[in-house]
Structures are given as C-alpha cells and as structure tokens.
Structure 1
Amino acid sequence: MTTETTAEPFHGRTLVIDSATEACSVALFENDALLAGDFRMLGRGHAEALVPMIAQLPDRGRAARIVVALGPGSFTGVRVGLAAARALALAWGSEVIGYSTLAMVSAIARDQAGAVPVATAMTGGHGEWFIEGFAKDGSVTRPLTSLRPDAAAAAVTEEVVAGTQAQALVAARGNGTALAIWPDARAFPLLPAHALTADTRPLYGRAPDAKLPGGLPGPQG
C-alpha cells in the first residue's frame, strides 16, 4: 500500500467516516476541534445507518476533506465507508484520504495507556485475528497480518494489546494488559500524520479467498 501522507496541518472542516468494523462512527471537525460526532455498535446494517448519521452532522457533514477508514475489517463495512466518502467527495469537490483501522485503535490505546508500544488484535475472517505492532510514536514495528488465535498470541510481544480481540489474546498468552477498543472517528486527532494516506484502496489483512479464471485474485475479506 502506498504510504503517501498528508503531513501539513489542515485548516478547515474534516469529515471522518469509520464503518470498517462492528462499530460505525462519524465525526466532523473544524481544524482539530470536534464539532459533532456519533458512534454506534451496529454489528450489521452499516449501509442503512451511515448516510443518516452523516446527515445529522452540522451542515450535513459537508467538509473540504473527507477521511475514511480503509480496513482491515468487514469487507462490506469497508466498502460502504469508501463508497460514501467517494460519493460525497465528488458532490462537494472534497479531498479524500484514508487510514488503517488498526492505526486508529493503536492511537486510542496510546492515549489511554501512555506513549508505549502497542499491539493491535482485531477480529478477522475465517476465525483469524488481524494483528499489527506499533511503536510509541505510532510507527509500524510489525506489519499487518492475519493469523489463527494461537499463532497471533505467540507472535505478539508488546505488553499492551488493544482491539476487539485484545482480552482473548492476553488470556491466551497469559500476560499483558488488554484494552478492548473499537475504532472511533471522534478520536481522529489522535492519529499521527504519518498514518494518513492518499491511497484509498481497501486495506486487507489476508490473502484473497479465491482466484478468478486465469489466476487473478478474487475478492478479499
């Protein structure tokens, strides 16, 4: 994935959309100040809930910059968020940039636990967990991968583990601090600038489930 980032301070309104997991959240910022936001644990139904949530924001969420979660997470949830961001950007003439769901989780964890290394552990597909390691400044120390729970527990070495499977991973490993965290658009200012990317292709944490005729990769999840 391209790591082109938006490092310069942004002045103006930013709409943040995160529908990549069981949680669905939106937030509208003026510079770094939160104007309004909404967070809901939906499980399913993101397609029906997301646009009304945006419409309830001031000025119906209109912003010069739209920031959207790229995953990893639910295949459908990631696509719903990206489709909404791209459609609104086309209508408003806005810039669209993205971020990793796990980067958001780790940023929230560092805000709660202090500037410490954090491992993320999130529900993946086919019984696996998405894991990734982050330094205390938010840079990636162990790349995103999707592993069975036992392999994930063996791979994670950080004391602090955050995410939807943090408690299960810490229990399986037998030590550490677990922070049960879902990504939240309202926490956007916690993301380091290097976590933002202009490459808004969906971010998957595992190989394609199937191949199309001719050996081309099929949909990922």
Structure 2
Amino acid sequence: MGDRLLAIDTATIACSVALFEDDVLFASDYAEIGRGHAEKLIPAIAQLPDHGKADRILVNCGPGSFTGVRIGISAAKALALAWGAEIHGYSCLALVAAQALKQLETPRPVCVAMLAGHGEYFLQNFSSEGEPLAPFASLTPEQAAIEVKSDIIAGSAATELAKIVGDIDHFPILPNASQIALVASDMKKMSSKPVYGRKPDAQPAKAF
C-alpha cells in the first residue's frame, strides 16, 4: 500500500469523501444531502477501501455551515488520532475556485460566492492560477456585486449573484473532496481549525 490521503468535505449541503493513493484518486463518495452530515459522513468513510484508513487527512475548514464545518473537523481529528495520521485543512472557497478553473478552456480569474446564511455570501476573488487575490468576506448581495473582480462567478451563490451583476458567466459549484488535487499544495496546509466567516447564530446566555 502506498501513501494514502483521505479528504473530507462537509462544509456545505454536499458531503463528500475521497481516498487517494500516491496522489491518484482511489475511491470517493459525493452526495448533496442538505442536512444529516453527521449521519452520512462516517458510513461514507467506512465504505472506502480499508475503511478509508490513510497516512494523511485533509479537511474543509470553511467558510461554510457552522455545523458542517464542525462535523468534518471533529471526524478528521478523531481519525487522525486513531490512525496516527497527519492532518491539515483547506479553504472551501479555494477548492470551488479550482473546480471552476478546471471547467474553463482558458484560465481566467474567478470570483467565488458561497451562500453564507442570513442573506449574505462568502465572497473571494482568485487569479487565473487559483491564488486568492484578497481575504474572503461575508457580504450582502449588493456589497458582493460591487466586489466581483472577474467575469466568472462560481459557487453555491453564483446564480443569485450573477442575476444582480448582470451579463456574466456563472457556475453553481459545490466543493467535492475528489477534486482536492486541483488545489495548490501550499493552500492545503491550513491548521485544522474552523473558519466560520460569520459569528454563530446562537450566542451564550449572559450572566446576570
């Protein structure tokens, strides 16, 4: 058995896992489930060859769903501890940008817009090489339309934002763990900590 990598992605309505051996995709599972990531994730990993056991683990750290991000990272950390595996994270937006670039005949800058809840979008602009041009931000649709620096929008909010911006290409893409090889190596070394992008909806009760 060669060097194996398990990729886990639960930051959006999609739930996906992928097992690579010597950087070649070995097996994967992808489903757009909306909710129920906690119930779907472990069985999906268990159905991979050798129950997904790997030397390295990559997990989507967000920004994305609070619950989804927590589930993915918690599972990744538990498996890394059990297997003695190395663990790192990656950005949800970087993977979506890479998937969008793969669909283009000629590389062009891409703006990624993902649904962020409460009517906002997580937005980040990327170069034609998939490198972030600035930090991501959580913006209202009107603010996001001003910040689009490309003639292509990709992501779960792409269709909505394209209607506001006007005549612009758009790709309604969700992150897929099987495509993680598209992301540059230096962008897959994040600490395995959640990147929520927004404050949680529920706040701790104040002491009186």
Query: Under a length normalisation based on structure 1, what TM-score does the superposition of the two structures give?
Result: 0.88
Q: Could you say which residue in structure 1 is the equivalent of 2:178?
A: 186
Within 5 Å, give how 1:4-23 maps onto structure 2: 12-23=3-14
Distance in 2 (alpha carbons) for counterparts of 1:131 and 1:40: 24
Distance in 1 (alpha carbons) for counterparts of 2:161 and 2:149: 11
Alignment equivalent of 2:40, drawn from 43, 49, 52: 49
Alignment equivalent of 1:31, drawn from 8, 15, 22: 22
**Aligned alpha-carbon RMSD (Å):** 1.5
Distance in 1 (alpha carbons) for counterparts of 2:176 and 2:85: 22
Q: Could you say which residue in structure 2 is the equivalent of 1:119?
A: 111
Q: Could you say which residue in structure 2 is the equivalent of 1:132?
A: 124
On the 8 A contact 1:145/1:206 being kept in 2, the answer is no
Per-residue deviation, 1:157: 2.2
SS at match of 2:153: strand
Q: Which runs of 4+ in 1 moved over 2 A?
A: 206-214
Per-residue deviation, 1:169: 0.8
On the 8 A contact 2:65/2:196 being kept in 1, the answer is no
Per-residue deviation, 1:207: 4.3
Per-residue deviation, 1:166: 0.6
Q: Deviations over 1:91-141 (max 9, x none)?
A: 000000000000000000011114211100000021100000111122111
Q: Deviations over 1:62-113 (max 9, x none)?
A: 0000000001111000000001100000000000000000000000001111
Distance in 1 (alpha carbons) for counterparts of 2:132 and 2:147: 15
Alignment equivalent of 1:176, drawn from 168, 172, 176: 168
Distance in 2 (alpha carbons) for counterparts of 1:171 and 1:157: 16
Task: Indicate whether 1:142 and 2:129 are aligned.
Answer: no
On the 8 A contact 2:59/2:73 being kept in 1, the answer is yes
Residue identity opposite 2:43 in structure 1: P
SS at match of 1:194: helix
Distance in 1 (alpha carbons) for counterparts of 2:190 and 2:178: 20
Identity %: 49
Unaligned runs of 5+ in 2: none
Distance in 2 (alpha carbons) for counterparts of 1:212 and 1:147: 27
Alignment equivalent of 1:202, drawn from 190, 194, 199: 194
Alignment equivalent of 2:95, drawn from 91, 104, 111: 104
Distance in 2 (alpha carbons) for counterparts of 1:184 and 1:198: 18
Q: Quick one: structure 1 residues 125 and 52, their matched pair in 2 at CA, closer, same or farther if it must change by over 3 Å?
A: same
Residue identity opposite 2:26 in structure 1: L
Unaligned runs of 5+ in 1: 1-10, 215-221
Per-residue deviation, 1:168: 1.1
Residue identity opposite 1:158 in structure 2: S
SS at match of 1:188: helix
Query: Under a length normalisation based on structure 2, what TM-score does the superposition of the two structures give?
Result: 0.93
